[in-house]
A and B are shown apart, each in its own frame.
Chain A
Amino acid sequence: MPTKPAGTLYRGREGMWSWVGHRITGVVIFFFLLVHVLDTSLVRVSPEAYTAVIGAYKNPLMALGETGLVAAIVFHAFNGLRVIAIDFWKKGAKYQRQMLWTVLVLWLVVFGAFAIRHLSLALGGH
């Protein structure tokens, strides 16, 4: 009698959720990248056009958006290195769960440092 499959690698838990997180952060970063190339391209229109649009990145709401974007980038970066380790390191698949927790600790440290510095610069007396 068939029962639900046991021991499927990508069913719930760390393996699947890190995969979901990698996809979502990847798409978010990709769409920001399209916009970011377009806004930077304004340097070819005029100095004032560029400086005006970049000015929009300096308000407090955008500062929160930038912080969220960097949260996504840092996760995607560290989890991507974990994916590489799973693929190329002999024991990668065995330790994928421990590596995810390592990724999350590194994410907290690096993103935390970025957020403190960026938010104090962006929201601080200017």
Chain B
Amino acid sequence: MSTEIQAPRSGQNSSGKISSGKISPQYRRGTGSKGNFEMFAWLFMRLSGVVLVVLIFGHLFVNLMVGEGIHGIDFGFVAGKWADPFWQFWDLAMLWLAMLHGTNGVRTIINDYAEKDATRFWLKVVLYAATVVIVVLGTLVIFTFNPCPVLNGVQLPGGFCPAP
């Protein structure tokens, strides 16, 4: 007499019947309300990571390694860079990708270590609020930057203004 041993997850249902290799409903990984969000988050970390290595290494090299390095950084240095759309979009891409990459990383850490539902919830509320504030602020700063700021009709010292 032989005994049939089922392969794992071969879908034998509770009555012992074999249902043609399908996974029993109670063990199926549902495409629940979250959809494929976690898979896309996982993929995003890897794709954005590769791009960020290039963007951040370039950022560090251009700002700190060439010329007089950190001593060359002041308002005029920023004005010089953002006069060029190339660096505006470089910095914009770096801002968005780094913030989303970092936010998702911290979200993972919160999920791992905060055990109470309420704690997890509120930590993530704070995290997402900070992310929105920083991303919106940074984006506005890049695109509304003015090399010649004027306050009450007076040019602020240190600005770069066209000759009258």
Contacts and interface: CB of A to CB of B under 8 A. Distances in A.
Interface of A: 23, 26-27, 29-30, 33-34, 37-38, 40-41, 43-44, 46-48, 50-51, 54, 57-58, 63, 66, 70, 73, 77, 80-81, 83-84, 87-88, 114, 117-118, 121-122, 126
Q: State the majority secondary structure of interface residues on B.
A: helix
A41 B137 contact: yes
Interface of B: 46, 49-50, 52-53, 56-57, 60, 64-65, 68-71, 73-75, 78-79, 95, 98-99, 102-103, 105-106, 109, 130, 134, 137-138, 140-141, 144-146, 149, 151, 156-159
Contact of A50 (B60, B74, B98, B138): B74
B78 A50 contact: yes
Nearest to A32: B102
5 contacts: A27-B105, A58-B71, A77-B53, A84-B50, A121-B69
